[in-house]
Structure 1
Amino acid sequence: MLVGLEIKNFAIVSNLSTEWHNGMTAITGETGAGKSIAIDALSLCLGERAEASAVRPSADKAEVCAQFDISALPLAQAFLEQHFLTSADNDCLLRRVVCKNGRSKSYINGSSVTASQLKELGQYLISIHGQHAHQHLLKAEHQLQLLDAYAGHQDLVVKVTESYKQFANLQKEFKQLEQQQLQQAAQKQLLEYQVAELDEFALQDGEFEQIEVEHYKLSNSQTILESCQKELQYLYEGEEQSACSVLQHSAQQFADLAQYDESLASVAAMLEEAAVQVEEASREIRNYTEQVDLDPARLTEIENRLSGAMDLARKHHIKPQGLVEFHQSISKELESISNNSSRLEQLDSEINDALLDYKQASEALSISRRSYANTLNTLISESMANLSMENGVFEISLTEDPERAPNLLGHDSVSFLVSTNPGQPLQPLAKVASGGELSRISLAIQVIIAQKVTTPTLIFDEVDVGISGPTASAVGKLLRQLGKSTQVICVTHLPQVASSAHQQFFVAKEIAKGETFTNMLALTKDGRVDEIARLLGGDNVSKTAKANAKELIKSACVI
């Protein structure tokens, strides 16, 4: 429930502070005085778009604060808890500041938030019905939303929405894959050829490096063998003199000399050890030469393998060492393209399942809609009679078309039908109802749905346009009755509606020092009589007008 509203430097308001109460509150005033200024300020505070024009010309910024009692609003409490915005009590303070450059800041209970968060919270606090709300009533989508709001079957609506999104997402994937497959047809053919060629060559990881080393060895094996044999002769096997025999001779000579000088014994030992090392090395060389492979066939095979790898590498513009990685990469790419076909088959099955889920969810929603539509038909027809449309008949026509293309709202087509005169057939609202009749039907629907859908504060901004006489009295009674269960705020120009309110504000405009100011005053009992008398008789309030005003207020209080 709205408890307090403070407005500073907003449009033509300089400074305004108001308190609000339970029941029905009427806002009246002279034409052009700005009766809807409080509603506009509230809309801003609830996250509507902020514009620089909202700031009073002489000010740097505009500020609107709205205080709500949320003790009976579990959804609002849950929102605050979810976003860590709770206060110590059951109050909720919203604040919006708009600078003259058009930028704005938003706050909930003193914490900075986004305008979208204000808007999300606002739906749990206030429902605003403007004077053009009846125009939306002519749109089929809005009609379905009204019916669903009254039915309260949100779980069924969500099920239809989710099943449709699942179906739509699968269809989107199917079309993308199908298009991709068409575009990749030529690419697939090329990849198949390349992969087959590389599969046939079958180069293994690290193989190129190994055969490169082996090729170098084989191509130089003759030179290696000849050099080894020649050096073996020098070191050990020479018939005349070898390095080993020379070392052995020297070692013996120094061993003999050591008899005369012991310091030469170490030289003899080193030479003897060197001779042993040369002998050991010669043995290794001999073993090596016996194992050297002079296999021309293997060399040819290796050369062909190297040549093939280098040819493939040149063809694909990569280094031979990267052939294996390239082979793996294009194999995966080909596999991915090939898998598209199997995925398309899988998607086709999933789409059929998703469509079945959607149809089942839509059927359940349709059944619920038809049930609640019958109830609404009776209630709205009765309400039309109370609004001076005694012979009015209202009917919600629901046409179920299971073959209709899936959408977010299910497979129902809806039309609000009405007959306002006896013998007149039921026809769509747009074809039958006049402007005044449409306003009354719209108001009747809004009030009935508001009674079913728990909304703490309902605001009606001149929804009684085009209504007068007994109908205006009926509208006033309807709104006052609604005010017993929820807070109702109504901007009106009709005395019959204003007199039905539990309390009333008067909006006036004045000009001082070349500036325009709008004020909003809570009226006393006598003040209400004067204001309703003005609405009845104009600016010249007569005793008769005052008497009529008192009678209107007295009659309203009986309700």
Structure 2
Amino acid sequence: MLSHLTLQDFAVVSRAELAFGPGMTVVSGETGAGKSLLVDALMWLTGARADAGIVRHGAERAELAAEFSLADAPAAREWLRENELDDDEACQLRRVIRADGGSRAWINGRPATLGQLAALGGLLVEIHGQHEHQALLDRGQQLALLDAFGQHGPMLAEVRDAARRWAGVDRELAELARSGDVGERLAWLEHQAGELADEDLRPEALEELAAAHRRQANAAGLIQGCQAALARLAGDDGLSLQRLLHQTQGELARLAGDEPRLAEVLALLDSAGIQLAEAAAGLERVHDELDLDPARLQQLEERMARLHELARKHRVPLEELAARRDALQEELEGLAGAGERAARLGRELEVAAREWQVAAARLGQARARAATALGEAVAGLMGELGMGGGVFTVALEPLDTTRPTPSGAERCEFLVSANPGQPPRPLRKVASGGELARISLAIEVAALGLDAVPTMVFDEVDTGIGGAVAEVVGQKLRALGAERQVLCVTHLPQVAAQGHHHYRVSKAVEADATHSQVEALDDKARVEELARMLGGVEITKEVRANARQLLSRASGK
């Protein structure tokens, strides 16, 4: 529900702040005073394209702001939450339009696009009047209103769920089809995975292979080096480290009797002798195990070459071949049952399509009944609203599609003939703005606020009518205000008297500039404003009495 509206340097309004409550609020004023500017402001706040002409002459920019309570707008609350623009139970829309034509917008203090303003605004405000920005002209909105009128929510949910299931299975089948010929892919995967499966690709196995290859490739040098080291450690010919160590130990042992500290040195030499012996034994073992084997070397080189060739083939480093093998095996296992999976998905697609057809047919039958009832109700109200003999029908046309749709199997078109003898035409093609506004009012009253939008705005819905019809229009608007917040711009006292709240727009010239002012009217001021709307140049006691009578009738007193 709209709670506050602020305008600054907007057209002829320098500054205005309005508070709104539940029920029906009327806005009146002399011709040219700017009473429809409030409707225009809401249009720009809910996504209309910027027009520099709305900036007050001499000002740099126009600023508009509206605050809404979301207690009666669950769809708007959900939209704000999904777009991470929520702020508890309140919503503020703000828009600045510069004199050069640029504009900026905010939702709850955060920058927003015009698309976001329009999407959210469509969930908060519905505008009816003599302009093209009418939600009821959209065929999607017409179908939504028909479903709301018929209370088709549960059936529509079944249709949506079935369509969603069908779409999900269809996507899986499409992904499976994009894999190409499954048989060819399986054969290729089996060959590639088989090549890698024949090799030991464990990291420790690769390290052992590389070490064995290096050892065999350098066997001659290793044998020669081991032999030279053994000769130096314990060679039979010439000096060796072990023989020199023994000689040194003997010489120092003879001297140890004269110098006790040499005993520590002798102990260290004994330890060194033990380590030299162990080193020599280790060298002998290595030397004995080394073997010049050209056949073994060739075998290792062939295996190394095979592994490097596989790495080049799969375009991965040697150490990543194992991961590549696992990935191929996983895909192979996934496609192994592709044929069975495709058949299963095909069956599931048929089941989902049948479920959608059954649910859509049930919804279509309910829509046909609701279309008849809505058409009769709106046609009857059209007669009350001064369009006697008019015809209103709701046409349902089957959708030309082979894919289940979330909205059902048909689309909706509101057809209307405002005058007897004329064939019904689509509501969006009705030429008369006044007729269009009253037809929209009749539709909303027939639906009695069943659509989810909490605030409805009617701009000059009383154009071209008067007398008793005008009073009926006012009564219908007041009845609608019991279900939804209604804002009505009017020039007829019979309509204005029906409001729960009343604003008057007036204009004045100050310092060669025109200013519009908006003021809330109390009971006494309402009588004067209704008297002005009823009377001529001079407002008499009789005119005021007539105004009070209108207010009394409207309030049921």
**TM-score higher than 0.5:** yes
Cα pair distance change 1:120/1:152, threshold 3 Å? farther
Distance in 1 (alpha carbons) for counterparts of 2:250 and 2:294: 47
Cα-Cα RMSD: 5.2
Secondary structure of 1:518's partner? strand
Match of 2:527 in 1: 525
Say which is worse superposed, 236-245 or 434-443, in terms of deviation. 236-245
Q: 1:55-91 deviations in whole A, cap 9, x for unaligned?
A: 3233345445657788x848599789984545xxxxx
Cα pair distance change 1:286/1:472, threshold 3 Å? closer
Asked if 1:205 is matched to 2:203, the reply is yes
Question: How far is 1:460 from its partner?
Answer: 0.8
Cα pair distance change 1:134/1:478, threshold 3 Å? farther
Question: How far is 1:525 from its partner?
Answer: 1.8
Cα pair distance change 1:321/1:74, threshold 3 Å? closer
Secondary structure of 1:129's partner? strand
Cα pair distance change 1:31/1:213, threshold 3 Å? same
Distance in 2 (alpha carbons) for counterparts of 1:43 and 1:452: 22
Match of 2:404 in 1: 406
Question: How far is 1:447 from its partner?
Answer: 1.9
Q: Can you give the 5+ residue segments of structure 1 that lack an aligned partner in the other structure?
A: 87-91, 535-539
Asked if 1:181 is matched to 2:180, the reply is yes
> 2:507·2:515 contact (CA, 8 Å) conserved in 1?
yes
Match of 2:456 in 1: 458
Distance in 1 (alpha carbons) for counterparts of 2:260 and 2:138: 124
Question: How far is 1:148 from its partner?
Answer: 1.9
Secondary structure of 1:35's partner? coil
Match of 2:163 in 1: 164
Secondary structure of 1:181's partner? coil
TM-score w.r.t. length of structure 1? 0.72
Equivalent residue for 1:479, pick from 466, 477, 480: 477
> 2:127·2:135 contact (CA, 8 Å) conserved in 1?
no
Match of 2:13 in 1: 13
Distance in 2 (alpha carbons) for counterparts of 1:93 and 1:326: 54
Match of 1:383 in 2: 381
Instruction: Say which one has the larger Rg.
Output: 1
Match of 1:446 in 2: 444
Match of 2:37 in 1: 37
Q: Kindly tell me the number of residue pairs found equivalent between the two proteins.
A: 541
Amino acid at match of 1:181: G
Match of 1:147 in 2: 146
Question: How far is 1:445 from its partner?
Answer: 0.8
> 2:527·2:544 contact (CA, 8 Å) conserved in 1?
no
Amino acid at match of 2:456: L
Asked if 1:100 is matched to 2:102, the reply is no
TM-score w.r.t. length of structure 2? 0.73
Question: How far is 1:342 from its partner?
Answer: 6.9
> 1:181·1:337 contact (CA, 8 Å) conserved in 2?
no
Match of 2:489 in 1: 491
Distance in 1 (alpha carbons) for counterparts of 2:122 and 2:134: 21
Cα pair distance change 1:345/1:28, threshold 3 Å? same
Distance in 1 (alpha carbons) for counterparts of 2:254 and 2:5: 125
> 1:25·1:502 contact (CA, 8 Å) conserved in 2?
yes
Cα pair distance change 1:209/1:474, threshold 3 Å? same
Q: Can you give the 5+ residue segments of structure 2 that lack an aligned partner in the other structure?
A: none
Distance in 2 (alpha carbons) for counterparts of 1:271 and 1:451: 108
Question: How far is 1:429 from its partner?
Answer: 4.5
Question: How far is 1:214 from its partner?
Answer: 1.6
Match of 2:298 in 1: 300
Cα pair distance change 1:162/1:443, threshold 3 Å? same
Amino acid at match of 1:150: F
Q: Counterparts in 2 of 1:197-346, with a 5 A limit?
A: 197-201=195-199, 203-221=201-219, 224-225=222-223, 238=236, 282-313=280-311, 320-321=318-319, 323-328=321-326
Distance in 2 (alpha carbons) for counterparts of 1:455 and 1:261: 112
Distance in 1 (alpha carbons) for counterparts of 2:87 and 2:539: 57
> 2:396·2:412 contact (CA, 8 Å) conserved in 1?
yes
> 2:535·2:543 contact (CA, 8 Å) conserved in 1?
yes
Distance in 2 (alpha carbons) for counterparts of 1:280 and 1:552: 125
Question: How far is 1:157 from its partner?
Answer: 3.6
> 1:477·1:556 contact (CA, 8 Å) conserved in 2?
no
Say which is worse superposed, 466-475 or 113-122, in terms of deviation. 113-122
Q: Counterparts in 2 of 1:2-151, with a 5 A limit?
A: 5-17=5-17, 24-44=24-44, 53-64=53-64, 73=72, 75=74, 83-85=86-88, 94=92, 96=94, 98=96, 100=98, 102-104=102-104, 106=106, 112-113=109-110, 126-132=125-131, 137=136, 140-151=139-150
Question: How far is 1:147 from its partner?
Answer: 0.9
Distance in 2 (alpha carbons) for counterparts of 1:259 and 1:14: 120
Distance in 2 (alpha carbons) for counterparts of 1:433 and 1:557: 36
Amino acid at match of 1:533: G
Cα pair distance change 1:295/1:51, threshold 3 Å? same
Amino acid at match of 2:405: N
Distance in 2 (alpha carbons) for counterparts of 1:262 and 1:455: 110
Match of 1:537 in 2: none
Cα pair distance change 1:259/1:17, threshold 3 Å? closer
Distance in 1 (alpha carbons) for counterparts of 2:428 and 2:21: 41
Distance in 1 (alpha carbons) for counterparts of 2:143 and 2:513: 47
Cα pair distance change 1:280/1:470, threshold 3 Å? closer
Q: 1:33-71 deviations in whole A, cap 9, x for unaligned?
A: 32201222344556766665543233345445657788x
Q: Counterparts in 2 of 1:364-383, with a 5 A limit?
A: 364-383=362-381
Amino acid at match of 1:490: C
Question: How far is 1:162 from its partner?
Answer: 4.9
> 1:45·1:95 contact (CA, 8 Å) conserved in 2?
yes
Amino acid at match of 1:376: L
> 2:448·2:483 contact (CA, 8 Å) conserved in 1?
no
Distance in 1 (alpha carbons) for counterparts of 2:550 and 2:270: 139
Distance in 1 (alpha carbons) for counterparts of 2:158 and 2:365: 14
Q: 1:136-161 deviations in whole A, cap 9, x for unaligned?
A: 65654332122123234445445544
Distance in 1 (alpha carbons) for counterparts of 2:233 and 2:128: 113
